[in-house]
Amino acid sequence: DNGEKHFKHLPIVMFMCRFSLLLLDLEEHYFEQHTAYNLTGRGPEANRRTSGSLKICSKSIIFEPDDAVKPILKVLSSYYLSPIPLNSLISVVLHVSGFIKKNFPQIYLIKEENVVAPYKYERGEKKVTFQLEVPGKTEDISVFHWVFHLGDQTAMVAAILQSRLARTCFDKNSFQHVTENPHMECVAEMVSPLVTNAGHVCITDCNLYFQPMNSYPDLVVQIGLHSVRRIYKRRHGLRPLGLEVFCTENDLCSDIYLMFYSTKERDELYYYIATFLENHIAECTAESYMLQWQRGHISNYQYLLHLNNLADRSVNDLSQYPVFPWVISDYSSTQMDLLNPASFRDLRKPIGALNTERLERLLERYRDMPEPRFMYGSHYSSPGYVLFYLVRVAPEHMLCLQNGRFDQADRMFNSVGETWKNCLEGGTDFKELIPEFYGSDSSFLKNLLGLNLGRRQGGGRVENVELPSWASDPDDFLEKMRLALESQYVSEHLHEWIDLIFGYKQRGSEAVAAHNVFHPLTYEGGVDCDSIEDPDQKIAMLTQILEFGQTPRQLFVTHHPQRITPRFHNLSATPSLSSSELSPSSPSMESFEDLTEESKKMAWSNMNKLALQSRHKIHKDISKHVLYRYVDSTLKMFSKENGLQRSMSFSNMALSSCLMLPDDKIVVCSSWDNNVYFYSIAYGRRQDTLMGHDDAVSHICWRDDKLYTASWDSTVKIWKCVADDISSNKRTQFDLLAEFEHEAGVNTLDLSPAGTLLATGTKEGTLTLWDIANPLPLNQLTCHSGKIHQVAFSPDSRHVLSVGEDSCLVVTDVQTGMLLATVHAEQEQRCFCWDGNTVLSGGMSGDLSVWDLLSSKVIHKIPAHSGAVTCMWMNEQCSTIITGGVDKQIILWKPEY
């Protein structure tokens, strides 16, 4: 389901119930209806009564005849200039005769012959007479106190609405079960495209209810809390008052969108519903979706839907409708070539900057404009643009937006190619696309309702949308558009468009540099509607916001990382990053038939089935590293078959880290006494000592005859060592190649698989990413609130995972330095291994936890040590895991297949 449900149901509504809230004006409210007769017949029907229902609204009276052939009548209340309140008039007349008689200068005739078409109207003084069926006392009719002096009308209508809501409450007879316990009740408005409907919200321990004040379109809307899958706080009319609820994972259309009168009530309802959603807060973040998208677990289409949702875009709010990019630029060829970059639009630029000549004219105007300056006089997404595309399936919405008229025939959505050309060349047309262009329902491209949309200058009627030559029919067009959106080119460049729409190029100096500046009113924080005291000015401002469109809420403030796509050749961003680090076209990442790679995948898929192989009781003090290093300053070496083999001491202070060199002849240990020790297995004695730091050496790594040392003296150093000299019984010369300065003691480090990137973690929670060839940081961020225990690159070098004292697992993007995901664990995690998606970590309780980072969940726990797990090692084939803990034991594990 690609989410076309929202507009798919509109034609059904049009013909089952001819009255719609779309017949009302903006910010108008429908209060109630009464059975009535229209005695305003003319000609042969002058003495006939027409039965129907009379809708009492805040700005109009609407009469819907029972006979679907007859037109709906709408008369505007703004034409009542009598100082007598309308309800007083109704009550007085009812006491006498039960009739309403009044002259109106204009009457709208809507849906005559039950056809959706532009409104007809009769001008001149017309007398309209309605007779109400009053089944008893006139007191049964609600009392309204309306004053139609233009200066007071808006405020008075708002007061009437709030008064009616205050005098009523939710009818608890509507509960699904008599045992339900209500949690809270408040007033709100249900939001749908272009209209809102006021009523009462009630939430219980089982259900969420909305009861419209006017019982339209249903007496009550009910949603089971356990069926809710996603909820989003919404910004409605630039105010934080909205809440949208989804009961499906991938549907574009929500089950209900509510607008509250206070942020506090909205938030209380939000957090109450969230308690019914497992890990809701962790799952619904831009970073977690980004991680899934980067790894290829969700499509480009799904990722854009998630970003739109998180940025307050909703199909229920046409001023914030989901925005999707134009990706194809070739609409004239007979065949679409998705392997040719020339077939695609430049996703680095906004629509307004794609045409150089037009951009120069816009920049010239921009330079001469007084502050606040803006480059584009119209937006890339607005209600008018959305309905431009959807007029064939949502004609009533277009009529509502344009006061009962369709647009001129030549300005309608007649051709995909013509529309793209106008977006490139038009002086005021900068619109992007909507999700329907990448969905599966092509009805918005076809005039299935037989609408009379007018004739073009050439004489032809506006019917179906003209498609490019490379599309055989509307369904084929959408299929090819979907292929284009998921293509290699778009996957490699979509992050550049995201930077413009949702990211760091959306506003500020970066937006100016990217020629991406829109009117100030379109940005969040551009205007405070609540500070406008005059109700008419507030309505005017909301109308302007609605009609002009709104820029999405900013989700990212730094470069958005690129997607990991198969077999792309290089990355244009961050020149200092090695192509061997980041290119999946390297042999190591393409050898899918390699047995080692397959065995690794198999091992990680069975990580929740670890089998204990053996336990070894070791030191009299706390174990700090598997097999080799311990805080009692003694190095002990074990054989998996024969147990303890050797034991030796280097210092009177604790050892902090150790490793064995690739030739299996030398063990290297670091110590809190500031030194690094080299132990020869062949000669059974200490061979060399490196006095390299001014404080404890906390961690060491070895790669390609180079030793990397981290220290609490706030430095990381790289030393050149010749392997032949180290293996012999000779003193070694250590050459300092590089030194990396930090602002706090360095607690841990890790090298990328290719050995060109370095990640370091400090005692103060700062993660720094370095290019080995350059002593300046690539990226630096404080991602933990306390000491970082361990950092490690993913196998493809795209991401770094870190764990710290704050009990968080944090995933960081290497290329951009962006924090992709923060997972809050129940307890502090001290060490881990990971494959980029799955994490095996050791915690303070002694358990091993298997994490699925994409869902931010622990999928399995394994009892291991009787105290904290402090260290973990995994061999290259992922077939053996060894853990050490404060219980003075080391344990060997193997995944079961």
**Neighbour order of strands in the sheet with 715-720:** 697-703, 706-711, 715-720, 735-741
CA distances from 861 to 388, 609, 845 (A): 54, 10, 11
> Taking a C-beta distance cutoff of 8 angstroms, is the pair 806, 787 a contact?
no
Mean pLDDT, residues 123-127? 72
Residue 156: predicted pLDDT: 74
Question: Phi/psi class of residue 292: alpha, beta or left (left: φ > 0; alpha: ψ in -120 to 50)?
Answer: alpha
Kindly report the backbone phi and psi dihedral angles of residue 389, in degrees, each rounded to the nearest multiple of 5, phi listed first. Answer: -75, -30
Q: How far, rounded to the nearest angstrom, does the alpha carbon of residue 404 sit from its chain's CA centroid?
A: 35
pLDDT for residue 280:
58
pLDDT of residue 105: 67
> Between 385 and 658, where is the model more confident?
385
Q: How far is CA 386 from CA 113, 380, 398, 540, in A?
A: 28, 10, 10, 21
For 304, the 3-state DSSP assignment is: helix
3-state secondary structure of 248: coil
Position 101 confidence tier, pLDDT thresholds 50, 70, 90: low
**Do 161 and 198 meet the contact criterion of CB atoms below 8 Å apart?**
yes
Mind spelling out the 3-state secondary structure of 61-107?
EEEEECCCCCCEEEEEHHHCCCCCCHHHHHHHHHHHCCEEEEEEEEE
Rounded to an integer, the average pLDDT of 336-348 is 95
Whole-number Cα distances in Å, 827 to 288, 624, 823: 21, 19, 11
Average pLDDT, the chain: 83
Most confident listed range (99-113, 329-343, 642-656, 852-866):
329-343
Residues making up the chain, counted from first to last: 897
Q: What is the pLDDT of residue 803?
A: 97
- Is residue 707 within 8 A of residue 668, CB to CB? The reply is yes
Which pLDDT band holds residue 632 (cuts at 50, 70, 90)? Answer: low
Q: Which two tokens stand for residue 837?
A: 């998606």
**What is the amino acid identity at position 564?**
I
Per-residue pLDDT for 723 more than 60?
A: no
Kindly state the average pLDDT of the residues 558-581: 53
Mean pLDDT confidence for 687-710? 91
3-state secondary structure of 800: strand
- Cβ proximity of 708 and 727 under 8 Å: no
Handedness of CA 256, 257, 261, 265 (dihedral sign): positive
Helices (H) and strands (E) in the chain, counts: 20, 39
The reported pLDDT for the residue numbered 160 is 80
- Residue 765: the pLDDT is 95
- From the list 103, 565, 217, 489, the residue with the least C-alpha distance to 328 is 489
Strand ranges of the sheet holding 610-617, from the earlier edge strand across to the other edge: 610-617, 889-895, 881-885, 869-874
Higher pLDDT, 643 or 665: 665
| Bigger pLDDT: 855 vs 480 | 480
Residue 384 has pLDDT above 90, yes or no: yes
Q: In what order do the strands lie in the sheet with 675-680?
A: 655-660, 666-671, 675-680, 685-691
Please say whether the beta carbons of 73 and 102 come within 8 A: no
Mean pLDDT of the region 165-181: 92
Contacts of 537 (CB under 8 A, 6+ apart): none
> Residues of the chain with pLDDT > 70: what percent?
82
Rounded Cα gap, residues 564 and 586, in angstroms: 13
Four-way CATH pick for 168-284: 2.60.120.280, 3.10.20.30, 2.30.29.30, 3.40.50.300: 2.30.29.30
The CATH number assigned to the domain with range 318-548 reads: 1.10.1540.10
Q: What is the pLDDT of residue 147?
A: 37
Give residue 574's pLDDT: 31
* Residue 643 Cα to chain centre, angstroms: 53
Q: Which three-class secondary structure state does DSSP give residue 244?
A: strand
**Other Cβ atoms within 10 Å of 262 Cβ, number:** 13
At residue 9, the pLDDT reads: 38
| Cα–Cα–Cα angle for 27, 30, 34, rounded to 5 degrees | 160
Q: Is the pLDDT of residue 576 over 60?
A: no
The tokens 């999707």 sit on which residue?
324
Neighbours of 733 (CB within 10 A): 11
> What's the CA gap between 510 and 309, in Å, rounded?
24
pLDDT, residue 581, reads 36
Nearest-angstrom CA–CA distance, 746 and 765: 10
Q: Are 109 and 118 in contact (CB under 8 A)?
A: no
pLDDT at residue number 573: 32
Q: So what's the pLDDT on residue 854?
A: 79
- Find residue 646's DSSP bridge partners: 637
Q: Which two tokens stand for residue 347?
A: 């996703």
The C-alpha atoms of residue 564 and residue 798 are separated, in whole angstroms, by: 8
pLDDT digits (tens, 9 = 90+) for 821-846: 888 999 999 999 999 889 999 999 99
713 closest CA partner among 691, 732, 733: 691
- For position 236, what pLDDT does the model report? 85
3-state helix, strand, coil in the chain (%, to 5): 25, 30, 45
**CA 730/CA 542 separation, integer angstroms:** 81
Predicted confidence at residue 81, as pLDDT, reads 33
pTM of the model: 0.76
Q: How far apart, in whole angstroms, are the C-alpha atoms of residue 326 and residue 354?
A: 11
Q: Where are the alpha helices (DSSP H) in 391-534?
A: 395-401, 416-425, 474-485, 488-501, 508-513
Residues near 460 by beta carbon (within 8 Å), at least 6 away in sequence:
none
Q: In the beta sheet, which residues pair with residue 824? A: 808
Contacts of 340 (CB under 8 A, 6+ apart): none
Confidence of residue 47 (pLDDT cuts 50, 70, 90): low
Q: At 748, is the secondary structure helix, strand, or coil? A: strand
Task: Categorize the per-residue pLDDT at 264 as very low, low, confident or very high, splitting at 50, 70 and 90.
Answer: very high
Q: Which of 350, 434, 327 is nearest to 388 (CA)?
A: 434
Q: What is the pLDDT of residues 60-79, one digit of tens each?
A: 889 999 999 999 999 876 44
Backbone angles phi, psi at 749, to 5 degrees: -150, 165
**CA gap 793, 809 in Å, rounded:** 13
- The runs of H, that is alpha helices, within 549-611 are 579-582, 587-590, 595-605
According to the model, what pLDDT value does residue 620 have?
42
pLDDT score for 117: 94
Give the whole-angstrom CA distance, residue 79 versus residue 60: 9
Domain boundaries, the chain: 17-165, 168-284, 318-548, 606-649+829-897
Distance of alpha carbon 645 from alpha carbon 628, whole angstroms: 11
Q: Spell out the alpha helix ranges (H) of 249-355.
A: 263-274, 280-283, 286-294, 300-310
Nearest-angstrom CA–CA distance, 298 and 562 = 14
Given this model, what pLDDT does residue 80 score?
Answer: 40
Average pLDDT over residues 568-587: 34
| Tokens linked to 154 | 């808006």
Given a cut of 70, is residue 103 above it in pLDDT? no
- Residue 90 in contact with residue 82, Cβ under 8 Å? no
Q: Poorest-confidence range of 37-51, 253-267, 582-596, 822-836?
A: 582-596
Query: What per-residue confidence (pLDDT) applies to 192?
Result: 93
Higher pLDDT residue, 350 or 7? 350
Number of C-beta neighbours around residue 640 at 10 A: 12
What is the C-alpha radius of gyration for the chain, rounded to an integer number of angstroms? Answer: 35
**CB count in 10 Å sphere of residue 794:** 20
> Over 80: is that where the pLDDT of 389 sits?
yes
Nearest to 469 by CA among 456, 480, 461: 480
Q: Is residue 462 over pLDDT 80?
A: yes
CB neighbours of 195 closer than 8 A, spacing ≥ 6?
A: 21, 22, 24, 400
Interval 852-881: pLDDT, tens: 887 788 999 999 999 999 899 898 888 889
pLDDT tens track for 644-680 = 556 777 777 888 888 888 877 888 999 999 999 988 8
Q: Are 740 and 775 in contact (CB under 8 A)?
A: yes
* Predicted pLDDT at 151: 44
